[in-house]
Structure 1
């Protein structure tokens, strides 16, 4: 560890006998606020679930949204569209009780998330469909006919 001390222009050292084992308060605040939130605050510590990762792919005919959410059932999901905003959410809870002669153990857990996406005007919201297989929620957002890319064609010069 370096014991270098910056010297102000007036060449006076203030607090030259600082205990080097304690962080300077301003550095400590900077460290706290410049860091991502601790995982304890952003995850469900009962299951380890954080906001699920999402892949979005665009093709000529549609957008495909894949959400990685293993361990859930398709009945756990709520998918809604309101004013061109797609919302994907879930809430699950789990309770268990174990009784033996001298004690009873009760455990419970709760997890939830909500992801929202603003849909482009080109999405045909009447034909959106979703499926859930092998821990991946797949949502197909077909494009309106007028928004689909048309294949390249040659134009004859007259």
Structure 2
């Protein structure tokens, strides 16, 4: 299996900046797995629902992953007339530059057990068969 050069550049550009040091705990963990026929991207997303995600291919042909979760919990104590609110808000956006061998029409995504899974199938290359009958003239 060959090693792709796109992966380190994508993550170095994103994580290794003055604005976001590598130790930033707010960015979810991302795994990228390559097999012979596809790439898989796994994004840690505990507590997130499928409605919290927006995944698309932008005008440059790059994969954009957006996560946004806003939860509000209200509790009211009738005896003390006390109102307490707890807000939970998280937002994340990442753009991945896709390799040229990704079939962009067949990308699929799903959320399972707190992990966003994105399947990036590779383009199936049809091999040209060179075997043929040659007529002797």
TM over 0.5: yes
Q: Does 1:122 align with 2:98?
A: no
Q: Compute the displacement of 1:116 (Å).
A: 1.3
Structure 2 equivalent of residue 136 of structure 1: 115
TM-score scaled by length of structure 2: 0.68
Structure 1 equivalent of residue 45 of structure 2: 69
2:31 partner SS? strand
Select the residue among 50, 54, 76 that pairs with 1:99: 76
Describe the superposition over 1:63-103 as per-residue Cα deviations: whole angstroms up to 9, x where unpaired. 11111111111121111111221111111111122222222
Distance across 1 between alignment mates of 2:35 and 2:105: 18
Distance across 1 between alignment mates of 2:73 and 2:110: 30
Structure 2 equivalent of residue 56 of structure 1: 32
Q: Compute the displacement of 1:54 (Å).
A: 0.8
1:52 partner SS? coil
Distance across 2 between alignment mates of 1:120 and 1:92: 29
2:91 partner SS? strand
Structure 2 unaligned segments of length 5 or more: list them: 1-17, 128-137
Query: Structure 1 segments of 4 or more deviating over 6 A?
Result: none
TM-score scaled by length of structure 1: 0.59
Structure 2 equivalent of residue 10 of structure 1: none
Larger of the two Rg values belongs to structure: 1
Q: Does 1:145 align with 2:121?
A: no
Q: Compute the displacement of 1:143 (Å).
A: 0.9
RMSD: 2.3
Distance across 2 between alignment mates of 1:97 and 1:135: 24
Q: In the comparison of the two structures, how many residue pairs are matched?
A: 105
Q: Does 1:87 align with 2:64?
A: yes
